Amino acid sequence: MSAHPADPQADPNNDGVADGPGSAIRPRVVTFGEAMIRLTPPGNERLDRATTLTVTAGGAELNTAVALRCLDVPASWVSALPLTGAGR
């Protein structure tokens, strides 16, 4: 950060920098963790017989970062991919 929290020229959208004396500091949240991928076949079809799948992602850390962003809180999610076919 290049601006001091008491600097009236500070950008209020800059992570953790206030807009001047007496203004609130905006927190920045970084979550760390894995994501879960859900593969859902249509209807009651079995997964091993499905020709199409709906893919959705979730996980506590990912969901937290998304929810905070929906509330206009600066948030990021950090994870790593495995060295398997799915991760490549």
pLDDT for the residue 76: 94
pLDDT digits (tens, 9 = 90+) for 63-77: 999 999 999 999 999
pTM: 0.58
pLDDT digits (tens, 9 = 90+) for 2-50: 444 444 444 445 555 555 566 666 678 999 999 899 999 999 899 999 9
Contact 42, 16 (CB under 8 A): no
pLDDT for the residue 85: 85
Paired residues of 54 in beta bridges:
40
Paired residues of 58 in beta bridges:
36
pLDDT for the residue 75: 95
Q: For the stretch 1-11, what's the b/e string if a residue is b when 16 or more beta carbons lie within 10 angstroms of its beta carbon?
A: eeeeeeeeebe
Parallel, antiparallel, or unpaired: how do β-strands 75-78 and 29-32 relate?
parallel
pLDDT for the residue 16: 56
